[in-house]
């Protein structure tokens, strides 16, 4: 539990905007207090909103090319063996009407695949004695077809030896949830993937926060074929493979207890075959940027990076930095919410939707 959490300032809306240096577009964000997702322009003005489930916690939201929203809605009461698990995977149309849902207990992340299926982090209660004597809230992966049939499923608990062969694995008597997967991504086609099958298109990139590592699952065999992180990252979020084959991720700096915390956060880009950090954004001094839970990032078309900071003194902040680390756009949520993630969409993606969907 984070103690002595500093209060946020009185910043609201867009506080920095350098149009010639920004990657223009529309930013989607959602909070943990208001049951809605908002799409804003570069001036911070809301151009569209989706709402569903009252004041439910929104764990994830992703706007699809047709303007629908894929979202994870939480009506439960948190984490741990004794909680009420009520998390739902839903798809909403432009006007927030429910067009598809699945009863899986969804957790933190879901991706609509090119084949129309949905890749999701699922969780439920389970007991694996080689991991813990306790009943845990346990994460696993599913690929779900539009007719709700599960066409692929993967369980971390049965592949722990494969992970341990690649990186050190944290050994603890887990009490709450394990391994706390917060990201799942089907790898894109990249030059790296074409020459190294570990990184080929369609393999699955996974982020288990409590193991302080990221790894790749070969889709066909289910084997873990690459892993990285222990000793370098702590409590990471949202790894994603870039078009050049690098992996960009948010390194929170939070361990499995306060005594393990690094005390600052950073965004890093790594070269997967070597594990070399080839770019990073951090505070100056490092402790000036500290958001130990949630958060994420996105590499933008102009080479800048969009960063969403969920908590600590950063609560409600989204900002864009250049490769040199200069802040060229900054937004603070007017409601002061904890923002789990954010995503920037290009004008070419959003403006036709604003024109054609508004009257329907």
The CATH number given to whatever domain includes residue 120 is 2.130.10.10
- Cross-sheet strand order for the sheet of 98-102: 57-63, 69-74, 87-92, 98-102
Element (H, E) at 111: strand 106-112
Tell whether 1 is covered by a domain: no
Range of the domain at 139: 13-357
Going from the C-alpha of 16 to that of each of 37, 45, 326, the distances in angstroms are: 22, 14, 11
CA distance 305 to 48: 23
Cα 345-346-348 angle, rounded to 5 deg: 130
Q: Which two tokens stand for residue 99?
A: 């067009």
Tell whether 298 is covered by a domain: yes
Tell whether 2 is covered by a domain: no
Strands 26-31 and 266-271: unpaired
Tell whether 260 is covered by a domain: yes
Q: Which two tokens stand for residue 326?
A: 């200069």
Tell whether 7 is covered by a domain: no
CA distance 84 to 138: 14
Tell whether 154 is covered by a domain: yes
Tell whether 4 is covered by a domain: no
pLDDT, position 124? 86
Handedness of CA 217, 201, 299, 284 (dihedral sign): positive
pLDDT, position 5? 43
Per DSSP, the three-state class of 135 is coil
Domain count, the chain: 1
Tell whether 176 is covered by a domain: yes
pLDDT along the chain (360 residues), means of 10: 47 92 97 86 97 78 96 67 67 96 90 97 90 90 97 96 96 85 97 98 97 97 98 97 98 88 96 98 94 95 96 90 98 91 97 82
Q: In 310-325, which positions are buried (b, 16+ CB within 10 angstroms) versus exposed (e)?
A: bbbebbbbbbbbbeee
Going from the C-alpha of 216 to that of each of 49, 85, 189, 298, the distances in angstroms are: 34, 28, 14, 19
93 class by beta-carbon count within 10 Å (0-12 exposed, 13-18 middle, 19+ buried): middle
Q: Which two tokens stand for residue 53?
A: 């489930």
Q: Which two tokens stand for residue 18?
A: 């350098």
pLDDT, position 2? 38
């Amino acid at each position: 539990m984070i103690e002595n959490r500093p209060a946020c300032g009185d910043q609201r809306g867009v506080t920095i905007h350098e149009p010639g240096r920004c990657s223009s577009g529309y930013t989607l964000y959602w909070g943990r207090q208001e049951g809605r997702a908002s799409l804003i322009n570069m001036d911070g003005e809301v151009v569209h909103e989706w709402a569903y489930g009252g004041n439910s916690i929104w764990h994830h939201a992703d706007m699809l090319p047709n303007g629908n929203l894929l979202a994870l809605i939480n009506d439960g009461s948190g984490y741990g063996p004794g909680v009420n698990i009520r998390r739902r995977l839903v798809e909403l149309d432009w006007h927030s009407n429910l067009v598809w849902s699945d009863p899986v207990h969804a957790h933190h992340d879901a991706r609509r695949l090119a084949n129309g299926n949905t890749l999701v982090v699922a969780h439920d209660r389970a007991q694996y004695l080689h991991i813990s004597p306790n009943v845990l809230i346990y994460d696993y992966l599913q690929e779900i077809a539009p007719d709700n049939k599960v066409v692929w499923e993967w369980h971390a608990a049965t592949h722990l030896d494969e992970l341990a062969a690649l990186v050190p694995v944290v050994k603890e008597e887990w009490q709450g949830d394990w391994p706390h997967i917060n990201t799942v991504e089907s790898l894109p086609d990249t030059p790296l993937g074409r020459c190294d099958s570990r990184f080929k298109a369609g393999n699955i990139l996974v982020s288990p926060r409590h193991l302080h590592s990221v790894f790749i699952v070969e889709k066909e065999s289910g084997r873990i074929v690459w892993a990285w992180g222990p000793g370098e990252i702590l409590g990471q979020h949202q790894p994603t493979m870039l078009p050049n084959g690098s992996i960009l991720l948010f390194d929170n700096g939070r361990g499995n207890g306060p005594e393990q915390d690094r005390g600052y956060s950073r965004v890093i880009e790594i070269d997967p075959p070597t594990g070399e950090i080839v770019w990073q954004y951090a505070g100056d001094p490092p402790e000036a940027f500290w958001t130990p839970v949630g958060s994420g990032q996105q590499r933008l078309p102009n080479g800048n990076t969009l960063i969403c900071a969920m908590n600590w003194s950063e609560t409600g902040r989204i900002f864009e930095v250049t490769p040199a680390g200069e802040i060229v756009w900054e937004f603070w949520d007017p409601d002061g919410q904890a923002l789990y993630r954010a995503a920037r969409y290009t004008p070419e993606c959003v403006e036709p939707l604003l024109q054609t969907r508004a009257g329907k």
